Every structure is written in C-alpha cells, then in structure tokens.
Amino acid sequence: MLRNLLVEMRYNGAAYHGYQIQKNALTITEVVQDAIEAILHRREPIVGCSRTDTGVHANSYFFNMKTACGIPEEKFIMVMNRELPKDIAILSCKEVPLDFHSRYDCKGKEYIYKIFNTAEKDPFQADLVLQHGTYIDAEKLEKIAQVLVGRHDFTSFCSLGGKVESNIRTIDYIKIWRKGEYVYIKVKADGFLYHMVRIIVGTLLHINDGKIPPDGLGKILEKRDRNFAGKTAPPQGLYLNQIIY
C-alpha cells in the first residue's frame, strides 16, 4: 500500500551546494536519498518544500516521500538520524494524504538572517552567521524596513536567473532585533524570489552603513530594477526557519 510521508528536518548547509540535486556537487537531496536507500534498499524520490542555495541553512525543512514501505514513522526518524551525517537531522515524520505536496501546499515561509555585529572576528562562526563590523541600529532599521511589508512587485530584490511568472509577493512582517552582539532579521511572506531575503538584508545593511539614504528603500522598491538595491548578503547567515501549511 502506497503511503505519503511528510518529513521535517534541519540542516547546516555549509558543506552543501544547496538543497536541489546537482550533477557535479554534493547537495542535501543527494545525502538524504542516500540515507533512505541504505535503509529501505530502494532509491525513493523526495519532494522538497523549497530550494535553498549553497551555504544556506534550515531550522525547519519539509519533504514528502511516497513509498510502499511500511516502516513506522518513529523508527524511520531513528534509523535516518543514525544513517545521516551530523549536519543533517530528522525532526519528525507523519503520514499525510497521497495528494499532499510539500511545495505546492505551502502557504508561507519564514526566514531568519543572523548577523554577528562586532568588529571582532570569530572563526568558529564563519559558516553560521554574517560577521558585520559596523554597529547596527536594529530598532531604527526595523522601522525603515516596514515599507516592504505588504503586497508589492519585488523585482528590485530579485537576482537574475529566477524563473517565475510574477515578481509580486506579500510580506507579512519584517522583524529586526538585537540580542547581545547578534542582530536577527526575520521575514515572513507567502513566497520568496531568487535571493530575495539576502538582497533585502544587503540593502538594509547599506542603509545602516550610510551607503543608501534612510528614505531610499521605498524608492528602490518602486524602481523595479535590481541595479538600485544593495549587494546580495552572503548565504551563511540565512536560515529557512518555518514552513506554513
């Protein structure tokens, strides 16, 4: 009897070239499928909820897998975690209807970008955060960022190479706060364009550092031109944090 399993995992993406399978690079999909094959003795296709780029992490990531194997959900979690490398962990597994699709049934996503905001360099965090020396006024930056909340054309915040029918998305909220030497930027939307969060973060940092005027964010949004926004922030600070079904 065919079953559809919805599996939640988290991973440190530093050693991988993103989630999506690639011919000549190690990816999350390949490693997870290798583990499944070792356990079930068959290579089952898996469907991911989203693509993540090289070096990007996930606190919560879902994939679904249709299989005729009758392995209990709790045992699947246990044996997968035994088989997977230390930078990937299975968090949960449950059976869902056969027509459930982890990507197309997703209603929204939340990302967090982590910044180590100090002039001191910490080599132990090099792959886990962006290290930014200029002091970030989190409260001020959060107020500036609110112009992006709502339904807009985010062409200015999309890298070339993304293939979508429309660049219109709805951002539900942008929250920015400081905790000690760390600054966190959390963004939730109904969907994201290619590099959208990283370009938003890079642009906000340009504003913080005085490279773009504080009132420039709305004008950049209106331009609908990637050339007017700031640099794309590096991948290591980005975490897929939550998937909404």
Instruction: Among 31, 63, 96, give the residue marking a domain's end.
Output: 96
Domain range for 206 is 108-244
The CATH number assigned to the domain holding 22 equals 3.30.70.580
For residues 33 and 151, state if they share a domain. no
Statement: residue 199 has pLDDT above 80:
yes
* Dihedrals phi, psi of 91, to nearest 5 degrees: -100, -40
Same domain as 172, residue 139 = yes
* Same domain as 128, residue 7: no
Residue 138: give its domain's CATH number. 3.30.70.660
Query: Which of 109, 10, 3, 16 is CA-nearest to residue 65?
Result: 3
**Same domain (yes/no): 26, 126:** no
> Are 81 and 113 found together in one domain?
no
pLDDT reported for residue 142 = 98
Catalytic residue, from 34, 53, 127, 190: name it. Answer: 53
Same domain, 218 and 143: yes
If asked whether residues 139 and 45 sit together in one domain, one would say no
Residue 103 domain-assigned (yes or no): no
68 shares its domain with 117: no
Total tally of structural domains belonging to the chain: 2
CA 83 to each of CA 35, 74, 87, 94, 152: distance values in angstroms, whole numbers, following the listed order: 6, 15, 12, 19, 44
- Whether 228 and 113 map to the same domain: the answer is yes
pLDDT digits (tens, 9 = 90+) for 214-236: 999 999 999 999 999 999 999 99
Residue (of 59, 75, 70) closest to 10 by Cα position: 59
Q: Is the pLDDT of residue 25 over 70?
A: yes
Is 80 exceeded by the pLDDT of residue 161?
A: no
pLDDT of residue 164: 83
Average pLDDT value over all residues in the chain: 96
In a domain, 102, yes or no: no
Nearest in space to 221 (alpha carbons), one of 173, 185, 176, 171: 171
The pLDDT of residue 162 is above 90: no
- Same domain, yes or no, for 112 and 91? no
The encoded tokens of residue 149 equal 């909340």
Q: Are residues 113 and 206 in the same domain?
A: yes
| Three-state secondary structure call for residue 170 | strand
The question of whether 53 is a catalytic residue gets the answer yes
